[in-house]
Amino acid sequence: MMENFLKTYQTYHKPVMLAQSINGLSVKPEGVYIDLTFGSGGHAHAILQQLGENGKLIAFDQDQDSKVNLQDDPRLLFINHNFKYLTKHLKIHGIDKVDGILGDLGVSSHQFDCRERGFSTRFDGPLDMRMDVRKPLNASDILHTSEEKELNRIFRQYGEIKNAAKLAKLIVQERTIKPFASSSDFIERIKTCIPLHKEFKYLAQLYQALRIEVNDEINALKSMLEQSIALLNPTGRLVIISYHSLEDRIVKIFMRSGNFNDKQEKDFYGNSLSPFTVINRRAIVPDEKEIQENNRSRSAKLRIAERK
């Protein structure tokens, strides 16, 4: 069934590590599952392929544009909100336990390819980067109102930019002259900070940092992970695909210890008290064929854990 789905679905969308993540979810036909990031619907549709008549899939996505990818299926419930409100919305619909949670973190192909959303350096457009356009704060607000010290922290922590202090200082200087009008204007005015021959990587890190700050992605991820402990049934699976080292470290540590401090609590006999059993000790990464077919997958890391 999965092979047939892959053949038909890949003609118009390429979900990252589709087979590996769905296999990792270990779908039970009558189970209840969550897709945290519906996006173009690739992973969600694959889950539905494996569910029986009484199975249920709850799909979250804060981006209103993702609604166009919904299919008419009575087993599918779509919730147009951030997954950090996971438990709240499940309770509204009378759901307190699930058999699996899948999250493909990061930016969807549609968001990257839409000039007006401002996620990509390929286009000249607004400095927006909001995944939920109903939210008031965008990337332009961050650049124009944050103090130099705060900008330094954002670039260093979320983008791992080596000259973060220099960049923050330059941005503050430039914005006092005139506001940044667009993406191309912004890039042109910070070009003295961009390392020669490393332009693409540097700007990707910078845009990543701004996007994470705008959408409060790290706090949302941590909140969701904490909620997953109470939501998952025994043997329920937690499957997360991340795209940068900060996210991956958080997921890895949480799956291993059940907390973010990597505190390995043990019982009297030395057995781990972590709520999860890690299924793959090392992150699963896409093979060369997938990377060639879908460049977006090149930095993806897949981790799977099972609720004890």
Can you list the domains of the chain with their CATH numbers? Answer: 2-109+217-307 (3.40.50.150), 115-215 (1.10.150.170)
* Sign of the torsion angle spanned by Cα atoms 107, 112, 118, 122: positive
- Between helix 148-159 and helix 164-177 the angle, nearest 10°, is 140
Q: Give the pLDDT of residue 109.
A: 66
Q: Is the pTM above the cut of 0.75?
A: yes
Phi then psi for 71, rounded to 5 degrees? -110, 155
Q: What is the rounded CA–CA span in Å between residue 68 and residue 15?
A: 17
Q: What is the pLDDT of residues 207-253, one digit of tens each?
A: 999 999 999 999 999 999 999 999 999 999 999 999 999 999 999 99
**Cα–Cα distance measured from residue 208 to residue 160, given in angstroms and rounded to the nearest whole number:** 10
255: number of CA atoms within 13 Å, CB side?
26
The per-residue pLDDT for 206 is 97
Walking along the chain (308 residues) 10 residues at a time, the average pLDDT comes out as 41 78 98 96 96 98 90 96 97 98 84 76 90 94 98 97 98 98 96 96 96 97 98 98 96 97 88 93 95 91 98
- Name the residue among 138, 112, 99 with its Cα closest to residue 306: 99
Q: How far is CA 7 from CA 13, 35, 102, in A?
A: 11, 21, 21
For position 117, what pLDDT does the model report? 86
Q: In the prediction, which pLDDT does 112 show?
A: 66
Would the CA dihedral through 180, 182, 183, 184 be positive or negative? negative
Residue the block writes with tokens 């030395």: 270
Q: Is the separation of the CB atoms in 217 and 81 below 8 Å?
A: no
Dist. CA 19–CA 6, nearest whole Å: 8
Average pLDDT, the chain: 92
Residue 195 is given by DSSP the state P
